[in-house]
Amino acid sequence: MPEATAQLNAVPLMSPSVGRGAELAVVVPTFNERDNVRAITQALETALEGIRFEIVFVDDDSGDGTRDVMAELAEAKNNIRVIHRIGRRGLSTAVTEGMLSTTAPYIAVIDADLQHDETALRPMLELLRADEADLVVGSRYTEGGGVGSWDASRVRVSSTATKLARLITSTDITDPMSGFFAITRQAFNNSVRELSGQGYKILLDIVASAPAPMRIREVPYQFRNRQAGESKLDALIIWEYLLLLVDKLVGHIVPARFLSFMFIGGLGVFVHMAVLSTLVAVQYPPFLWAQATATGIAMIFNFFVNNTLTYRDRRLKGFVPLARGLLVFMIVCSVGAVANVGIAGYLFSAFHYGWLTAGLSGIAVGVVWNYAATSVFTWKAR
């Protein structure tokens, strides 16, 4: 018998889950967590002994062999399932798909990196069973909780994000940024159709999307250091978090992704003018060539920044996809520029609109075209 299989069989499968539906589904989103999935499985089996539960791994097409380990686990144990996502990225949407895939009456979410304390799941479930809450949050900031070895800067960022969370929810939660929680099936069903799916903060998204205030309780836990692998958090998480806030505030009027596209387009104007003014100052090349050069550089800037920020969940990678995407983007935006000028000129000459109104109308048409067309042709959803 191979060593890996022997190790798996050494961990007993909880007999209460055999032949009966799971009472609790534990959703574990993963991306390149090969060295952690076996450990989190064993930790959950120990913490939830005697409870009918299942583990739903949702993997965003890991390239490090994570799914191979999951396949071994799923073959050895009948309460483990794996959802393999291709062409989709993002913790929030991964968790949502995992929660939708199960019929368990209670659902928990925990990271695969062992930073969350799995022993807190039992008291979370007990509160839901007793109908004392619709949602139970694992909190680092309530009495008995802690952030472990975080440095001062990370504490400040977390504190600021927690304060900003109050812009979109009036519920008093000490740790709305937590990625560790348990919820009833009904409470999740009430929120799921309004979820934005932006970024990493699925808990905040669920609470802000609820049609009525939830009954929320908190269970303290001590945040632990990552056991293996690399952290997925980076500076862009802040941008995704801001997009989530914007989406919950005005997303019912204007999509947050569109606002991001517009903002980056505004930055592109500054890039354009900076390049143009520099070329004009050195008197080379002639103005029309300088204008064309500035336009091209601004388009390139807009493409790469939108690829990184606005369409992070669909971002293009690799030389060929990036080159193809840039070409399509520039073609689409060129059509938008023609539409901009055409509409503005038509309104100015045919309807005698003022230059400002005509100009702004042309810009609006161009921006809407660029956003809609690039969403379809450059960053199409897969």
Phi, psi (rounded to 5 degrees) for 56: -115, 100
pLDDT band at residue 48 using 50, 70 and 90 as cut-offs: very high
Helix (H, G, I), strand (E, B) or coil at 87: coil
Cα(375)–Cα(12) distance, integer angstroms: 48
* Average pLDDT of the residues in 365-369: 88
- Torsional sign, CA 334, 338, 341, 347: negative
pLDDT exceeds cutoff 80 at 78? yes
**Counts for the chain of helices (H) and strands (E), in that order:** 13, 7
Q: What is the pLDDT of residue 15?
A: 38
What's the confidence (pLDDT) of residue 281? 87
The 106-109 sheet, strands edge to edge: 80-84, 53-59, 24-30, 106-109, 181-184, 135-139, 216-220
Q: What integer is the mean pLDDT of 126-144?
A: 94
List the Cα angle 190/192/196 in 5-degree steps. 135
Q: How many residues are there in the chain? A: 382
Asked if residue 106 lies in contact with residue 56, where contact means CB atoms within 8 angstroms, the answer is no
Yes or no: domain 3-233 corresponds to CATH 3.90.550.10: yes
Angstrom CA distances, 21 to 53, 54, 118, stand at 8, 9, 21
Say yes or no to pLDDT of 354 above 90. Answer: no
pTM: 0.75
pLDDT (mean) for 247-262: 85
Query: What band does 6 get if pLDDT is binned at 50, 70 and 90?
Result: very low
The residues pairing with 315 across neighbouring beta strands, listed in sequence order, are none
pLDDT for 193 equals 93
Q: State residue 345's pLDDT score.
A: 81
What mean pLDDT is predicted for residues 343-359? 80
User: In this structure, are residues 268 and 301 in contact, taking their beta carbons and an 8 Å threshold?
Assistant: yes
Q: What is the DSSP letter of 314?
A: G
Euclidean distance between CA atoms 292 and 105, whole angstroms: 60
What's the CA angle centered on 167, arms 165 and 170, to 5 degrees? 85
Per-residue confidence at 11, pLDDT binned at 50, 70, 90? very low
Check pLDDT > 90 for residue 371. Answer: yes
Higher local confidence (pLDDT), 141 or 38 = 38
Q: Is the pLDDT of residue 234 over 80?
A: no
Q: Give the per-residue pLDDT at 27.
A: 97
Q: Is 186 buried (19+), middle (13-18) or exposed (0-12) by CB count in 10 A?
A: exposed
**pLDDT tens-place string over residues 186-204:** 999 999 998 888 767 888 8
Rounded Cα gap, residues 54 and 76, in angstroms: 13
Q: Which residue has the higher pLDDT, 261 or 312?
A: 261
Which SS3 state, helix, strand or coil, does residue 108 take?
Answer: strand
The pLDDT score that the predictor gives to residue 235 is 62
Mean pLDDT (the chain) is 85
pLDDT-wise least confident of 32-36, 127-131, 210-214, 361-365:
361-365
pLDDT surpassing 90 at residue 320: yes
pLDDT at 321: 93
Note the pLDDT of residue 7.
38
- Asked whether residue 133 carries a pLDDT value surpassing 80, the answer given is yes
Ranges 101-105, 272-276, 331-335: which has the least confidence: 272-276
pLDDT confidence of residue 206: 92
